[in-house]
Each structure stands twice: as structure tokens, then as C-alpha cells.
């Protein structure tokens, strides 16, 4: 199980209702159902992943998060999770607004473009970084709007979105992010997980 | 054909059924067929609703027509709906012509077949008529109910009318009401039948004949709407039927013409023209939204049933958008709903043919629901 999913699962209380946007093969949903008795729903574009969820008995709706979030009513979920896909949307700002409309709280995770290895690749090799969390090359990456932990932090500030908790992940270590340690966490975290709403 | 009809399974529904049109029917026959075995816990029953021209003979050999059951691709031993594991039930709709009460049955008042004296029925009437069958078979709660096209409409009505009768439901390629285009196509089919002089205002049975030409055209209309433009082009294109060049006549020169004629004229052997009128009318009148005064969400209020809605990308009769509207309503009412769009060129017919992605999805859902249903029952 990915460390990221464990951290996300820890953020969500038992017996709640959760929408997993871009739920993939349902790994996170499975974890939430089994360990926390959470009522889950998934939204997923890829047919193969949709079938995997259905085979596991996990409710999943095939659809595009960019255009089809409107089908979920206001505040109909306790939590909405968006794992590592924010950067792939044409209009991340609009998607975040939609997530906040649907969920009482929203959990967004991003691959951190401010991670030191990413920075050094660009700085020393002059090439777009290819890493474990960013495995694609510039011409086939689905990521249209790469951002850093600092960027998302400032974005929430600017849009007056309350950050309830922000966590940086590097391998198996997690650390809380706040205004005071933002620079250093932005440099040393591979992933950022934001609980907002 | 009539002697074969006498041997099929039937129950007599004694409970009076007040139809939406205001009339009441009672002591009417409901024909059905089952496949597989009901287990001791009675938790492996799956109810299938058939489409417009279907019948209760889902799989195996249809004893009346001697042809393969209409859903043999999906139902049978080791198939997606595995009859080694599940007990599959299907009833012939009222208004139909395969043993359930329909316009060719004898009207007790006139002692003649009903013809157009048969009451106009609705999808809700069709569904209510089937309730007694579940009682008769001793099934309190189904594992799953499913159906494509008009079968899907019956299913949506069934879930709305009886919210606790099935653990899971798979509506396939259907909608909550007919679009103008759907009504228009059905009207075309009806007009084809009524324009046949043999039809004689529905009284053709007095002369023991069928308005074959009209009924065949009605079937051809249907067949065009079940295929996609691309699928049809790939299958037939402009290919000629066993000839090198045009005949300069109105015989079936093109393969597609020959196909339609074949479909039309084999259909008249097994179906009743008045049944087509009544059943297409029921489809056109179906409007789940109207039943709940515009609030489709209300139709699915308090649903505990777990839904899987399936649509096909090239289906222009019951489009992906119409199927998604069902999903949106289910979502809005808080129901447990999954949705999958199968990408295919096979059009509306996709659910009846060998479409591997579809069959895989069907199997995966039913098998996982069975595990859940067993656990729920244990608790």
C-alpha cells in the first residue's frame, strides 16, 4: 500500500462518506471501506480501472472529472479526495472549486515540483525532470499544470481556502507543513497532501 | 405453435391488478421460465426483464421457435450470468404473445381474442404483474435484477415501485423516458402494421391470419435503430447479395436489404402484430420523471439497491447521455451507483451480441454482489 494512501486514510474519520475523484483501480477506496467502514464512491475515466473497481464491488462512475463533477450535489460527501491529478486538469482552479462544493472537506495530493531532486535536474542538466513521482517525459506527460507545495499553499491563501492540515511526504517520512517551515518542506517533500475546506 | 405454447410454464395471477388506464385484470396467465437452481438460502436469484421483442426464453433453445434464447451470449452455464451458480428467472410481459395475457388471448366477455379491446398497458403494469411470480417462487429478495432496452425500463420501474426487492440492479442501454425520436420510430412501426390491410383494425385473428407485411416492416425499422451507422457500414457497406452487378429491379440487390427482409420475415413467424402495438405504446408512455411530478430523484429515494448502469458508445436509440441522466438522478438521491460506458461500434444491439468488455463488466459486478449479499444475509 502506498504511503500516500495511508496518510490520506489517517486524515479521514470512520463511518463517513467519501468521493475519490480519479480513483484508479480502487486501492484507496478498498482501504477506506475495509479499515474505516467508509461509504465510498469513485470517479474514474479509464475503462480498465473502472472494471477493476466493479470486480472488487466498489461503486465507481466512469467519467471525466474535468467535465462531469456537476452530477454530484452540493456538500453530498464528508470528504472528496483528489490524488495526484490536480496538475493534469486544464483548469485546476475550477476543479478545486467543484471539489469544495461537493465535499465538506477536500484532500488534494500533488507531486511536488519543488522537491530538490526535481530542481537539480532542471538546474544542472537543463532537462525537464523525470523522477519516480514524475515518470513521463515532456512530450507525453499528462501534467499540464505542474506546481510545488509552495504554489498550492499560496494558491489557497490567495483564494481564501482554509488549509486544515498540510503534510509533506518523503519516502516513509511525513511532516506537517506550516508557514514557518514551508521553504524547507517544499525542498524536501516528494509529495504534498492538503486537507482543505 | 399453439400446442407448444400450452406446455410452457405459467402461473395464474389471481390478485386483481388495477392498470394505469383504470381497468382491472384478474385471474390472468403469466408465462415464465427459469434456469439454474435456487439454492437453500434463496440468495442466488436473478430476475431478467426482456426487451420489446424478447420473451421468457433467455437462453438454451427456445421451445417454441427452436432457436437460441435471445440472451444466450450472457446467460448460461459458465457465462457472465452463470446458471451453474445463479437461478435466473424471466417472465413474458403482459401484452406479449408468449403465454402471458395479451391481445391474442380470449376476452372472457366476447369469447373472442381481445384484439384492440385489450386494455392499453404501461411499463408499471407490466412490472406489477410480475410481483406474484416472485411470491410464487418463494423469493423475498433477489440477488440482482437486470434488463436491457425496455427490460432496463422495467427494471428502473421495478426498483422504484419495490425498493427492497432486489439487492442489486443492472439497467442496460435504457432511459427514464422515451425521447421524441424513440416515439417517432415506434410510431413508424405501428403505422406500418396498421397500414397493412390484413391488420383490419386488429381483427385479423378472426380470419386466422397475420398482417405479415406490416409486421415485417415494423421489425425492419427496429433493426435499423439497433445498429450503428459505422457498424452497419462495416458489416454491409454497398456489398451486393450473391450477384455481380445490379439487377435493375426492386429485388434485394444489396446485402443490407436482404438482411432486413430476412429479419422482417422471420420475425412474423414468432410475433403477434397487436402485441407490438401494445408494447411499443407502453414504452412510449413510460416516464419515470412524470410519475414523480418532475422529480426523478424522488423515484429513487431511499434506495438500498446497488446499481450498475451500462451504456454503449454507439447506441443512438438509448444514448450514453440518457443513461448518464439515470446515474445523475441516482447519485443525487444518494443511491449506491456505478456506471460504465462500453466503447463499441455495435450500437444498441451491443448487449445482445458477444461484446467481451460488456460481458466482463456484467460478470464482475454480479459475482462481487453475490459475495456482498451472502455476507449481508449472514449478519
| Number of compact structural domains in chain A | 1
Instruction: Grade residue B3 by pLDDT with cuts at 50, 70 and 90.
Output: low
Cα B364 from Cα B358, distance rounded (Å)? 10
CA–CA dist B344, B355 (Å, integer): 8
Backbone angles phi, psi at B36, to 5 degrees: 75, -170
Option in B327, B342, B371 nearest A57 (CB): B371
Closest-CA residue of chain A to B370: A57
Would you call A57 and B336 a contact, using CB atoms and an 8 Å cutoff? no
Q: What are the tens digits of pLDDT across the range B189-248?
A: 999 999 999 999 999 999 999 999 999 999 999 999 999 999 999 999 999 999 999 999
> In the block, which residue shows the cell 449481508?
B376
Q: Which residues of A touch B360 (CB under 8 A)?
A: 51
CB of B357 closer than 8 Å to CB of A97: no
Chain A: closest CA distance from residue B296 (Å):
14
CATH at residue A144: 3.40.50.150
- pLDDT value, residue B2: 55
Three-class SS state of A102: helix
Q: Which helix (H) or strand (E) holds A165?
A: strand A163-170
The fold for domain B2-183+287-378 equals Rossmann fold (3.40.50)
Active site residue B149: yes
**What are the chain B neighbours of A49 within 8 Å (beta carbons)?**
none
* ipTM of the complex model: 0.90
Residue whose C-alpha cell is 456505478 = B338
pLDDT score of B1: 47
**Nearest CB partner across the interface for A71, out of B328, B342, B343:** B328
pLDDT in tens, A44-80: 999 999 999 999 999 999 999 999 999 999 999 999 9
How far apart CA A188 and CA A168 sit, in angstroms, is 8
**Count of positions (residues) in chain B:** 379
Q: Is the separation of the CB atoms in B172 and B152 below 8 Å?
A: yes
- pLDDT > 70 fraction of chain A, expressed in percent and rounded: 99
Range of the structural domain that residue A24 is part of: 3-196
B187-278 CATH pick, 1.10.1740.110, 1.10.10.60, 3.20.20.80, 3.40.640.10 = 1.10.1740.110
Q: What angle do CA B257, B261, B265 make, to 5 degrees?
A: 175
Contacts of B372 in chain A (CB under 8 A): 57
Q: Give the pLDDT confidence of B45-90 residue by residue, as tens digits.
A: 999 999 999 999 999 999 999 999 999 999 999 999 999 999 999 9
Compute the 3-state secondary structure of chain A and give helix, strand, coil in percent, each to the nearest 5: 40, 25, 35
Model pTM score: 0.94
Q: At B251, give phi and psi (nearest 5°).
A: -70, 170
pLDDT score, position B294: 75
**Measured distance CA(B324)–CA(B281) in Å, rounded:** 24
Res. B264 pLDDT band, cuts 50 70 90: very high
Q: Do the chains contact at B360 and A51, CB–CB below 8 Å?
A: yes
Residue corresponding to grid cell 515532456:
A138
Looking at residue A2, its pLDDT comes to 85
- Within 8 A of B301 by CB-CB distance, chain A residues are none
Residue B41: count of CB within 10 angstroms of its CB = 10
**pLDDT tens digits, one per residue of B102-137:** 999 999 999 999 999 999 999 999 999 999 999 999
For residue B47, the distance in angstroms to the closest alpha carbon of chain A comes to 20
Contact B331 A61 (CB under 8 A): yes
A197 at the B interface (CB within 8 A)?
Answer: no
Coil, helix or strand at residue A110: strand
CA-based nearest distance A133→chain B, Å: 29
Residue ranges of domains in chain B: 2-183+287-378, 187-278
Concerning whether B136 is annotated as a catalytic residue, the answer is no
DSSP collapsed to 3 states, chain B:
CHHHHHCCCEEEECCCEECCCCCEECCEEEEEEEECCCCCCCCCEEEEECCCCCCCCCCCECCCCCCECCCCCCEECCCCEECCCCEEEEECCCCCCCCCCCCCCEECCCCEECHHHCCCCCHHHHHHHCHHHHHHHCCCCEEEEEEECHHHHHHHHHHHHCCCCEEEEEEECCCCECCHHHHHHHHHHHHHHHCCHHHHHHCHHHHCCCCHHHHHHHHHHHHHHHCCHHHHHHHCCCCECCCCCCCCCCCCCEHHHHHHHHHHHHHCCCCCHHHHHHHHHHHHHCEHHHHCCCCHHHHCCCCCCEEEEEEECCCCCCCHHHHHHHHHHHHHCCCEEEEEEECCCCHHHHHCCCCHHHHHHHHHHHHHHHHHHHHHHHC
Which of A61, A72, A73 faces B338 most closely, judged by CB atoms? A61
Q: Is B223 a catalytic residue?
A: no
A51 vs B340: CB contact, 8 Å cut-off? Answer: yes
Contact B343 A61 (CB under 8 A): no
Q: Which residue of A has its CA nearest to B336?
A: A59
Task: Give tens-digit pLDDT for A162-173.
Answer: 999 999 999 889
Of the pLDDT bands very low, low, confident and very high (cuts 50, 70, 90), residue B379 is low
Is A21 near chain B, with CB under 8 Å? Answer: no
pLDDT of B377 above 90: no
Q: How confident is the model at residue A1 (pLDDT cuts 50, 70, 90)?
A: low
On whether any CB of chain B is under 8 Å from the CB of A53, the answer is yes
Helices A3-11 and A27-36 sit at what angle, rounded to 10 degrees? Answer: 50
User: Which among B228, B348, B349, B350 is annotated as catalytic?
Assistant: B348
Element (H, E) at A184: helix A182-188
Residue B284 has pLDDT above 90, yes or no: yes
Question: Are B372 and A57 within 8 A, CB to CB?
Answer: yes
Question: From the CA of B173, how many Å to the nearest CA of chain A?
Answer: 15
User: CB distance B368–A51 less than 8 Å?
Assistant: no
> What is the tens place of the pLDDT at every residue in B290-325?
999 878 899 998 899 999 999 999 999 999 999 999
pLDDT at B5 over 80: no
Interchain pair A56, B368: CB under 8 A = yes
Average pLDDT, chain A: 95
Which residues in chain A are closer than 8 Å to B337, comparing Cβ atoms? 41, 59, 61
- Out of B149, B225, B228, B314, pick the active-site residue: B149
Over the stretch B234-251, which tens digit does the pLDDT of each residue have? 999 999 999 999 999 999
In three-state secondary structure terms, A105 is: strand
Residue with cell 461537493: A102
Amino acid at each position: 500500500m502506498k504511503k500516500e494512501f495511508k496518510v490520506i486514510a489517517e486524515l479521514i474519520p470512520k463511518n463517513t462518506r467519501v468521493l475519490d475523484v480519479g480513483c484508479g483501480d480502487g486501492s484507496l477506496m478498498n482501504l477506506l471501506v475495509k479499515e474505516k467502514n467508509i461509504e465510498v464512491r469513485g470517479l474514474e475515466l479509464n475503462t480498465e480501472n473502472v472494471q477493476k473497481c466493479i470486480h472488487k464491488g466498489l461503486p465507481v462512475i466512469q467519467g471525466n472529472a474535468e467535465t462531469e463533477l456537476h452530477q454530484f450535489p452540493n456538500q453530498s460527501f464528508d470528504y472528496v479526495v483528489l490524488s495526484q491529478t490536480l496538475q493534469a486538469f486544464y483548469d485546476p482552479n475550477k476543479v478545486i472549486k467543484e471539489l469544495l462544493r461537493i465535499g465538506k472537506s477536500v484532500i488534494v495530493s500533488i507531486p511536488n515540483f519543488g522537491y530538490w531532486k526535481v530542481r537539480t535536474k532542471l538546474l544542472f542538466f537543463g532537462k525537464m525532470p523525470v523522477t519516480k513521482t514524475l515518470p513521463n517525459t515532456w512530450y507525453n506527460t499528462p501534467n499540464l499544470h505542474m506546481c510545488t507545495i509552495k504554489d498550492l499553499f499560496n494558491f489557497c491563501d490567495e483564494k481564501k481556502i482554509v488549509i486544515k492540515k498540510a503534510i509533506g511526504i518523503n519516502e516513509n517520512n511525513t511532516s506537517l507543513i506550516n508557514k514557518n517551515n514551508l521553504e524547507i518542506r517544499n525542498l524536501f517533500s516528494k509529495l504534498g497532501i492538503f486537507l482543505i475546506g | 405453435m399453439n400446442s407448444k405454447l400450452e406446455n410452457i410454464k405459467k402461473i395464474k395471477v389471481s390478485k386483481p391488478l388495477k392498470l394505469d388506464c383504470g381497468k382491472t385484470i384478474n385471474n390472468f396467465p403469466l408465462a415464465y421460465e427459469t434456469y439454474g437452481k435456487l439454492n437453500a438460502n434463496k440468495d442466488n436469484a436473478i430476475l431478467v426483464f426482456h426487451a420489446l421483442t424478447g420473451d421468457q426464453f433467455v437462453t438454451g433453445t427456445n421451445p417454441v421457435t427452436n432457436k437460441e434464447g435471445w440472451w444466450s451470449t450472457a446467460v448460461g452455464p459458465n457465462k457472465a450470468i452463470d446458471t451453474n451458480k445463479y437461478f435466473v428467472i424471466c417472465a413474458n410481459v403482459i401484452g406479449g404473445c408468449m403465454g402471458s395475457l395479451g391481445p391474442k388471448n380470449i376476452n372472457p366477455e366476447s369469447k373472442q381474442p381481445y384484439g384492440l379491446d385489450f386494455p392499453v398497458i404501461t411499463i408499471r403494469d407490466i412490472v406489477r404483474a410480475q410481483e406474484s411470480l416472485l411470491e410464487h417462487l418463494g423469493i423475498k429478495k433477489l440477488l440482482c435484477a437486470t434488463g436491457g432496452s425496455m427490460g432496463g425500463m422495467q427494471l428502473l420501474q421495478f426498483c422504484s415501485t419495490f425498493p427492497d426487492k432486489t439487492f442489486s440492479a443492472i439497467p442496460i442501454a435504457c432511459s427514464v423516458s422515451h425521447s421524441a425520436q424513440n416515439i417517432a420510430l415506434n410510431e413508424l412501426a405501428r403505422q406500418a402494421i396498421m397500414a397493412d390491410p390484413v391488420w383490419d383494425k386488429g381483427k385479423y385473428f378472426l380470419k386466422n391470419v397475420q398482417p405479415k407485411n406490416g409486421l415485417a416492416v415494423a421489425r425492419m425499422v427496429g433493426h435499423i435503430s439497433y445498429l450503428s451507422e459505422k457498424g452497419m457500414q462495416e458489416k454491409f457497406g454497398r456489398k451486393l447479395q450473391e450477384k455481380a452487378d445490379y439487377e435493375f429491379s426492386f429485388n434485394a440487390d444489396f446485402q443490407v436489404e436482404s438482411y432486413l427482409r430476412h429479419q422482417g420475415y422471420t420475425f412474423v413467424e414468432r410475433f403477434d402484430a397487436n402485441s407490438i402495438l401494445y408494447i411499443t405504446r407502453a414504452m412510449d408512455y413510460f416516464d419515470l420523471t412524470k410519475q414523480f411530478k418532475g422529480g426523478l430523484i424522488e423515484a429513487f429515494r431511499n434506495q438500498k439497491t446497488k446499481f450498475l448502469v451500462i451504456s454503449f458508445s454507439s447506441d443512438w436509440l438509448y444514448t450514453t447521455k440518457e443513461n448518464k441522466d439515470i446515474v445523475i438522478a441516482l447519485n443525487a438521491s444518494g443511491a449506491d451507483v456505478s456506471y460504465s460506458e462500453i466503447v463499441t461500434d455495435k450500437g444498441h444491439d451491443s448487449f445482445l451480441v458477444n461484446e467481451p468488455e460488456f460481458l466482463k463488466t456484467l460478470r464482475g459486478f454480479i459475482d462481487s454482489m453475490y459475495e456482498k449479499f451472502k455476507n449481508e444475509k449472514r449478519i
